[in-house]
Amino acid sequence: MMLRLWHGFQLLFRPYPYFRDARITWRAPIPGLGSVLISAEAGLVAEAARHPDLVGGRAHRAMRASLGDDHLIVMSGPEHRLRSRQVRRALQAFTSDGEMAEITRQEFAGVPLRRPFSLQQIAHRASLRIILRGLVGRDDAELIGLSQAFQSSFSSPLVLFVEGLRRDWGPWSPWGRLLRRRARLNQALLQAARCAPPDSIAARLPPETWGYELLPQLMFGHETTAATFAWCFAMLYPQARQRIANGDEAFTLAYVQECMRLSPPVAQLTRVATREVRLGGHCLRPGEVLMPAIPGLHHHGWIHSDRLEPERFLQETPDPHRYCPFGVGERICPGKPMALRQLVMMLQTVLQNFDIQPLPGYRPRPVRQLFLVAPAQGAPAVRRA
């Protein structure tokens, strides 16, 4: 019992060192998941991604409880492949570069001068508005308020593992409040989707999927982007700042990719064995979980792996099973192109229009925010001009 709690604590509160500094492949008792095979071995992860008896989605119990039971992230098999194609096709309607830049300028222009603020918080609101504009064609105060209210319900990462916390004891209980806020946000999204312009994401999704996909696409469409944006600023150095401000798009993209290598916003993936599976000398019984460890995969086998070197992404395309901030195999996030483009536009817009500096003395430290890992305090900064 104590060993299980220790591993759960490490996974929740020390996700990067837990996955990066241990052995490359090992077993650990994880609360809520049982005996889990954890691996930062690219070859084993590649084998797992192709294995027909290892499926994704089934281990996401907390995600099912909080975002619903029939969306893309928790699906598997033929249903997942069909929905993935639908979502990928719809995301091609994402907001234009001009809209992304304008929304970013508006949000950062509202930051008071010479007063500390959270980069993640401002990027969160900018990215929320961007994804709402792309999703349903509007980013009005009602949708923003309902989205932020729902997000504020996630106060503790413990709900990932402690199923007892996911109980509806009425509107004043934490989980009951979450469910009611989710219902109000879902209703507003459905209403907006019915009136969405033809070039929006919602208009390109089959209407029967709106009740399942709009909310997850909204939440993951801006949460991961805001966390990654904060990491990018927290690790910014003078030469990178200059090249990004000068509009070097190839370097900006490489910088974002390198920041996601060192500080991936999602720390682990899961695959569940549907029957007995053998992987590289390891055996998984039916129902057991394989957990590819993203920080470990991004560390082992890389030259100067602890250094921030964006140039490595200008020189070659990395092994997709060694570099996987968006997932692996057929379960790669369909929003990957959208997220990377948004991050490039947001970084360039901010550095070209504002003088924003990290708060003196701040050192980024990873903290778990439910499903994501972000820099502590949201990467505090000061706007000078």
pLDDT at 160 over 60: no
pLDDT at 385 over 70: yes
Q: What are phi and psi of 339, to 5 degrees?
A: -65, -45
The Cα 204–Cα 336 span in angstroms is 18
Over residues 163-173, the mean pLDDT reads 76
Contact of 228 with 259, CB cutoff 8 Å: yes
**Which whole-number Å values give the CA distances from 364 to 14, 151, 225, 378, in the listed order?**
13, 23, 17, 9
**Which whole-number Å values give the CA distances from 363 to 28, 234, 237, 366, 378, in the listed order?**
30, 8, 13, 10, 11
Mean pLDDT of the chain: 90
The Cα 297–Cα 326 span in angstroms is 13
**Which whole-number Å values give the CA distances from 85 to 52, 63, 69, 214, 298, in the listed order?**
19, 21, 19, 15, 28
| Of the candidate ranges 2-11, 61-70, 127-136, 287-296, the one whose mean pLDDT is the lowest | 61-70
At 311, the amino acid letter reads E
Q: How many Cβ atoms from other residues are within 10 Å of residue 378's Cβ?
A: 22
Third-level CATH fold of 2-383? Cytochrome p450 (1.10.630)
Per residue in 83-92, pLDDT tens?
A: 888 888 888 7
What pLDDT sits at residue 74?
73
Per residue in 248-298, pLDDT tens?
A: 999 999 999 999 999 999 999 889 999 999 998 899 999 999 999 999 999
The Cα 365–Cα 384 span in angstroms is 24
Q: How many Cβ atoms from other residues are within 10 Å of residue 104's Cβ?
A: 26
Contact of 309 with 258, CB cutoff 8 Å: yes
pTM here is: 0.93
pLDDT at 191 over 70: yes
The Cα 194–Cα 207 span in angstroms is 9
pLDDT at 62 over 70: no
**Which whole-number Å values give the CA distances from 78 to 98, 214, 273, 289, in the listed order?**
37, 20, 16, 20
Per residue in 213-222, pLDDT tens?
A: 898 888 888 8
What pLDDT sits at residue 23?
77
| Of the candidate ranges 21-35, 163-177, 286-300, the one whose mean pLDDT is the lowest | 163-177
Over residues 135-145, the mean pLDDT reads 95
Over residues 145-151, the mean pLDDT reads 92
pLDDT at 202 over 90: yes
Kindly state the tokens that stand for 385. Answer: 């001009």
At 89, the amino acid letter reads R
pLDDT at 4 over 70: yes
